[in-house]
Amino acid sequence: MVSVCFYFQVHQPPRLRKYSVFEIGHHNGYFDEHKNEAIIKKVTHKCYLPTNRIILDLINRTDGRFKVAYSMTGIVLEQLEKYAPEVIDSFKELADTGCVEILDETYHHTISYLYSKDEFKEQVELHNKKIKQLFNFKPKVFRNTELVYNNEIASFVEKMGYKGIIAEGADHILQWRSPNFLYKPKGLKNIKLLLKNYRLSDDIAFRFSEKSWKEFPLTAPKYAQWVSKINGNGNIVNLFMDYETFGEHQWEDKGIFEFLKHLPSEILKHKDNDFITPSEAINMYDAVAELDFPHYVSWADIERDLSAWLGNKMQQEAIKEIYLLEPSVKLSKNYALIDEWRKLQTSDHFYYMCTKWFNDGDVHKYFNPYDSPYEAFITYMNILNDFRIKANKLGEVNIIR
């Protein structure tokens, strides 16, 4: 038996407006609403709406045998409500089929766990509320931003009541083991670990349109064959990827939608295969062993570590400074201020400052609104310095009271 477990990440960051040093102290708006709206609308038409339609159709056509899971950040949902409410309706429709599971994560797509556990918990709770409010769904499985994971996070998340958690099936952790089983986080009893099968996931997410790839072009029958081969060596294939893979990263004219439309029937041709959601997997399969993740692992780059967000001094400084503001921000009890502070924590801001791949015109550039990591840092620090003035003012007022 091979169960295919799809989970799609839906996220769009709150992109910042170019903010010069001369604006520090003027408290102008930080976010580029114009650009954010334009991107949301573009991705809505290239990806969200057409892909949702295909998924819904697949669920209906297979009588609910096709299933998927989504994790949607609070900030993408907010932006969709504002700029493309039809996408929210479409996700509601999907949620109503009962074949769609929704996962929890940090509302603001942050790596706050590393800096403030209180803040992390609050952001997860905010997300939980948002999902309840929009989809009337209570998530039981957790995925951390960028799949940042270690033993300690698993333990913290277990205490928050989650039954499952998602991580990268990193080679250096798995070694000889296979990602195609459920595992148990080290020392824990009440939570199971689902690992991303990054080879099969990346075949779709990264390599699908790559002409130099020896498997190009990738067809649904070929892919279904690879999945079926796992029979006997595993019971679950976790295919985790950005939802924007469909139509935005891999374009429609390269055949990604046709691939998606045909994949479920090809996979279901093999009678031992099925589709399941993460919660179903947790109920259906036992953990085969305990896995030890002493260090942080993420799903980014070859390194699978934190270096995409914290690899250079600019990133380290920027993120340290934003979390140092937590006490005064929270003392202010000012909702707008706290919300702004959280939107400045979104991991993408730090990702844009990464200098690792800046040397070789990488695909990452496509997602970067800045000309260079240095521009990203300058804009961020100018905003942060403006925000600090505001936060200290509002925070102090509260102490005096």
Q: So which residues are the catalytic ones?
A: 146
Residue 9's Cβ-count burial label (10 Å; 0-12, 13-18, 19+) is buried
- Phi, psi (deg, nearest 5) at residue 297: -125, 140
22 near other proteins (CB under 8 A): yes
Structure tokens at 313: 């001094």
Structure tokens at 180: 């195609």
Q: What is the 3-state secondary structure (H, E, C) of 39-50?
A: HHHHHHHHHHHH
Q: Which stretch binds other proteins (CB under 8 A): 17-25, 65-73, 330-338, 341-349?
A: 17-25
CB closer to other proteins out of 145 and 315: 315
Q: Which stretch binds other proteins (CB under 8 A): 19-27, 232-240, 280-288, 387-395?
A: 19-27
DSSP, collapsed to helix, strand or coil, labels residue 335 as: helix
Residues belonging to the chain: 401
CB closer to other proteins out of 83 and 357: 357
CA–CA dist 401, 399 (Å, integer): 5
Which of 20, 28, 190, 233 contacts other proteins by CB under 8 A?
A: 20
Which of 34, 41, 313, 333 contacts other proteins by CB under 8 A?
A: 313
293, 279, 290: which is closest to 168 by C-alpha?
Answer: 293
- Restricting to residues 344-383, name those near other proteins by CB under 8 A: 355, 358-359, 371-375, 377-378, 381-382
Note every long-range contact of 21-28, with CB atoms under 8 Å and residues 24 or more positions apart, other chains counting: 21/382, 23/382, 23/386, 24/382, 24/385, 24/386, 24/389, 25/386, 25/389, 26/386, 27/386, 27/389, 27/390, 28/386
Minimum gap (Å) between residue 375 Cβ and other proteins: 8
Minimum gap (Å) between residue 355 Cβ and other proteins: 6
β-strand pairing of 182-185 with 164-168 = unpaired
151 near other proteins (CB under 8 A): no
CB closer to other proteins out of 303 and 375: 375
CB closer to other proteins out of 19 and 259: 19
CB closer to other proteins out of 115 and 358: 358
CA–CA dist 306, 154 (Å, integer): 17
**CB-based contacts of 342: which residues, under 8 Å, 6+ apart?**
107, 108, 110, 123
Minimum gap (Å) between residue 19 Cβ and other proteins: 9
Minimum gap (Å) between residue 152 Cβ and other proteins: 27
DSSP-assigned letter for residue 17 = P
62 near other proteins (CB under 8 A): no
CB atoms within 10 A of CB 138: 10
Minimum gap (Å) between residue 396 Cβ and other proteins: 23
Size of the site for other proteins (CB under 8 A): 21
CB closer to other proteins out of 239 and 376: 376
Q: Which stretch binds other proteins (CB under 8 A): 18-26, 85-93, 192-200, 335-343?
A: 18-26
* Footprint on this chain of other proteins (rule: CB under 8 A): 20-22, 312-314, 316-318, 355, 358-359, 371-375, 377-378, 381-382
